[in-house]
């Protein structure tokens, strides 16, 4: 499968910031805890934030995408990709409303791409446990662009048909898909993971409006795939945002 990256280039002055040190030990655990336990009140305060809902589109004419009998959320990305770097933050927040993500690793995007060294995560070793949905994450290449995880022929076919090979690509049970990141990574550059996690505790920050706004739309898309059964789907803000997403 060919790997493509959205050609959004921002005009930026000066040299890109140097990557910040990767957290370890108790610090790492604290950041992951903050990211995966964002209060519903905080998410509701942000609503759609500044996320671009136009990146979502409906899927028609395909059977439901499932894994072990559950609606499947399929993510295709790569560790070098700065737009994947941005979207992972939001996807982690959204998935954490439906279950438990384990095996998250700290990562930065490529030093030679746009928005160099964006602090992020990788799903390379991640697993998800939830009663209502399944999650499959595929990181196609590492930070240096070397092949990493190979999508199946079925996964590649879906991504090529609807996303044209662009990453990040997220399929929500073959009901909706997200083609590309729905916010730009520039507000993450030069920050540490801790600074970003702290910014998400304040709904007025640009990072909260982008990441949590995106997470709320992702939550709404997952609810669509899950038939609105999970408890979080009854949240008034989630219901409002789901109504804004396209239907087949």
Q: Which residues of the chain have pLDDT under 50?
A: 1-17
The reply to whether 34 falls in a domain is no
The reply to whether 130 falls in a domain is yes
pLDDT at position 7: 32
Domain that holds residue 71: 39-180+190-244
The reply to whether 185 falls in a domain is no
Report pLDDT digits (tens) over 19-42. 667 898 999 999 999 999 999 999
pLDDT at position 77: 98
The reply to whether 17 falls in a domain is no
pLDDT at position 6: 33
pLDDT at position 20: 64
Comparing CA positions, the residue from 91, 97, 102 lying closest to residue 128 is 102
* Cβ burial, residue 192 (10 Å; 0-12/13-18/19+): middle
> Structural domain tally of the chain?
1
SS3 state at 161: helix
> CA separation (Å) from 126 to 7, 102, 104, 136?
28, 5, 5, 9
The reply to whether 167 falls in a domain is yes
Contact (CB, 8 A) for 176 and 57: yes
The reply to whether 28 falls in a domain is no
- How far apart are alpha carbons 58 and 73 in whole angstroms? 14
pLDDT at position 21: 78
- How far apart are alpha carbons 33 and 18 in whole angstroms? 26
The reply to whether 168 falls in a domain is yes
The reply to whether 16 falls in a domain is no
């Amino acid at each position: 499968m060919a790997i493509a990256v959205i050609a959004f280039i921002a005009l930026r002055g000066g040299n890109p910031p140097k990557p910040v040190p990767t957290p370890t030990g108790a610090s790492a655990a604290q950041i992951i805890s903050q990211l995966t336990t964002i209060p519903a009140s905080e998410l509701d305060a942000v609503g759609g934030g500044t996320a671009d809902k136009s990146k979502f589109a409906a899927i028609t004419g395909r059977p439901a995408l499932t894994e072990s009998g559950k609606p499947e959320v399929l993510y295709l990305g790569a560790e070098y990709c700065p737009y994947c770097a941005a979207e992972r933050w939001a996807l982690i927040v959204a998935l954490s409303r439906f279950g438990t993500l384990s095996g998250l690793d700290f990562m930065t995007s490529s030093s030679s791409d746009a928005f160099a060294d964006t602090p992020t995560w990788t799903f390379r070793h991640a697993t998800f446990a939830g009663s209502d949905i399944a999650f499959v994450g595929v990181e196609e290449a590492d930070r240096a662009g070397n092949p990493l995880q190979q999508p199946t022929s079925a996964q590649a076919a879906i991504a090529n048909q609807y996303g044209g090979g662009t990453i990040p690509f997220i399929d929500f049970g073959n009901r909706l898909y997200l083609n590309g990141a729905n916010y730009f990574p520039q507000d993450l550059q030069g920050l540490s993971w801790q600074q970003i996690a702290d910014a998400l505790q304040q709904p007025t920050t640009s990072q909260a409006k982008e990441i949590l706004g995106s997470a709320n739309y992702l939550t709404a898309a997952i609810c669509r795939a899950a038939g609105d059964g999970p408890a979080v789907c009854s949240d008034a803000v989630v219901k409002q945002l789901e109504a804004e997403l396209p239907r087949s």
